[in-house]
Homo-oligomer: A and B are copies of this chain.
Amino acid sequence: MPTVIPADSVGLVTPQIEAFDQPLDLEGGRVLEQYELIFETYGQLNSRKTNGILICHALSGDHHVAGYHSLDDKKPGWWETCIGPGKPIDTNKFFVVCPNNLGGCKGSTGPASKNPKTGKPYGPDFPIVTVKDWVQSQARLRDRLGIKQWAAVIGGSLGGMQALQWSIDLPESVRHAVVIAAAPKLSAQNIAFNEVARQAIQSDPDFVQGRYMENNKVPRQGLMLARMLGHITYLSDDSMREKFGRELREGKLKFGFDVEFQVESYLRYQGRSFVDRFDANTYLLMTKALDYFDPAQEYDQSLTRALSRAQAKFLVMSFTSDWRFSPARSREIVKALLDAEQDVTYSQIESAQGHDAFLLPIPNYLNAFSAYMRSVAREVCD
């Protein structure tokens, strides 16, 4: 059944790949001799190359941010809500670039890629990559595209952390940083949830110390558990209540261990379908990048000092019911920016949808985001 592509979509899109042969020195001390990044672009780069926007994805995201790969696609890219003609990130005005992160599993070099040294998949030998490493790897893609300064670097959750790190590590390259539903570093509770997810994956006998591909196995149960757990933290208690309440799957209690409540059925479905489209080693890497993110660390633990380097203007957004990265965490970023005498706009959006809100069409959110991006467009568009 072919999709009718809506008029406000970027339409049919095709990913591109760039290969980089210069070794990349990683924060953890190891070196990646070569890597590829898969990415998509939407809109047109203007003649002065000032209207480029970098979208950074979160834990399970990828480079397919908007539009459709074919008329048979059931769903568009993951941020279709915010990217397209007339949308907050307006592709009539901006040239939008989104790579799959290094270490990913959707086409950029990662644990599932062939290790040129062994001819086998990297698996657990793929190095740990950090948010700083992503910034460096993405900077090379920017160079290839001939862009000196992004009009904006934008991301939600782990994507927002990349936007923040870009503004600190490559200050002259970022005109605006849009940091949505993020935090300046993970809390102990955040790390704890990640650790349970990792333990679930690593203790699955089919994980085979990360060499499951060579062994023709998939750590399905572990990855499914990790995703189920993640999913709970993306939703708010309220949104789960609204979505499922205590509805029974079959209308009455069965007093057994099969699915009883709708929420159980939903989580199992989410977990299972994730396994078919995501790589366990990549999931481990992404949670580690989250844990390690702490831009203040290089600056005597002072986020203010770190952000003093930035030359960007900032838009920080948070959602009231987000308990994964609560508004209080966004306000820590805002406070550090103000203390660093930076230009920051903060928007706290009323929403019951938890962390997932940043992906959803919430009118106040889209309006605030659009207003900010219109002012960015006025600065940079020809």
Q: How far is the CB of A239 from the nearest CB of chain B, in Å?
A: 9
Q: For the complex, what is the distance from the CA of A302 to the CA of B191, rounded to whole Å?
A: 40
Q: Indicate whether A348 reaches chain B with its CB closer than 8 angstroms.
A: no
Cβ contacts under 8 Å, A7 to chain B: none
Q: Is the CB of B267 within 8 A of A192?
A: yes
Docked CA distance A288–B256 (Å): 8
What's the nearest-Cβ distance from chain B to residue A361, in Å?
23
Instruction: Mark interface residues in A263-307 (1 if CB within 8 Å of B CB, else 0).
Output: 110011001000000000000100010011010000000000000
Interface membership of A364, Cβ < 8 A: no
Given contacts A193-B232, A260-B291, contact A200 B198 (CB under 8 A): no
In the bound assembly, the distance between CA atoms of A204 and B225 in angstroms comes to 11
Which residue of B has the minimal Cβ distance to A240? B188
Chain A 184-198 residues near chain B, CB threshold 8 A: 185-189, 191-193, 195-196, 198
Flag whether A44 is at the interface (Cβ < 8 A): no
Q: Is A261 an interface residue (CB 8 A)?
A: yes
Query: Bound state CA distance, A191 and B196, in angstroms?
Result: 18
Interface residues on chain A, number (Cβ under 8 Å): 56
| Cα–Cα, bound, A186→B263 (Å) | 12
Contact A256 B128 (CB under 8 A): yes
Contact of A264 among B192, B240, B244, B284 (CB under 8 A): B192
Is A202 among interface residues, defined by CB-CB distance under 8 A? yes
Min CB gap A114→B, angstroms: 22
Integer count of this chain's copies in the complex = 2
Q: Given A203-B221, A225-B200, decide whether A255 and B28 contact each other with a Cβ distance below 8 A.
A: yes
Q: Are B246 and A196 closer than 8 Å at their CB atoms? A: no
Query: Is A172 close to B, CB under 8 A?
Result: no
Task: Check B187 against A240 for contact (C-beta < 8 Å).
Answer: yes
Residue interface mask A209-220, B partner, CB < 8 A = 1 = 000000000000
Chain A binding surface SS class: helix
| A243 closest partner in B (C-beta) | B188
* Interface residue? A224 (CB, 8 A): yes
A175-191 vs B, CB cutoff 8 Å, 1 = contact: the mask equals 00000000001111101
User: Per a CB cutoff under 8 Å, which of B193, B228, B229, B284 touches A257?
Assistant: B284
Do the beta carbons of A246 and B192 come within 8 Å of each other? no
Do B232 and A263 have beta carbons less than 8 Å apart? no
Residues of B within 8 A of A240 (CB): 187-189, 192
Judge whether A146 is part of the interface by a CB distance below 8 angstroms.
no
Q: Quick one: which of A222-250 are within 8 Å of B by CB?
A: 224-225, 228-229, 231-232, 235, 237, 240-241, 243-246
Q: Please tell me if A253 contacts chain B, counting CB pairs below 8 Å.
A: yes
How far, in Å, is A318 (CB) from chain B's closest CB? Answer: 15
A199 at the interface (CB under 8 A from B): yes
15 residue pairs of the A-B complex, CB under 8 angstroms, read A28-B255, A185-B246, A189-B232, A189-B237, A189-B240, A191-B264, A192-B232, A193-B232, A195-B228, A196-B232, A199-B268, A246-B294, A255-B288, A255-B292, A257-B284
Show the binding face of A for B, using Cβ within 8 Å.
27-30, 127-128, 185-189, 191-193, 195-196, 198-200, 202-205, 221, 224-225, 228-229, 231-232, 235, 237, 240-241, 243-246, 253, 255-257, 260-264, 267-268, 271, 284, 288, 291-292, 294, 323
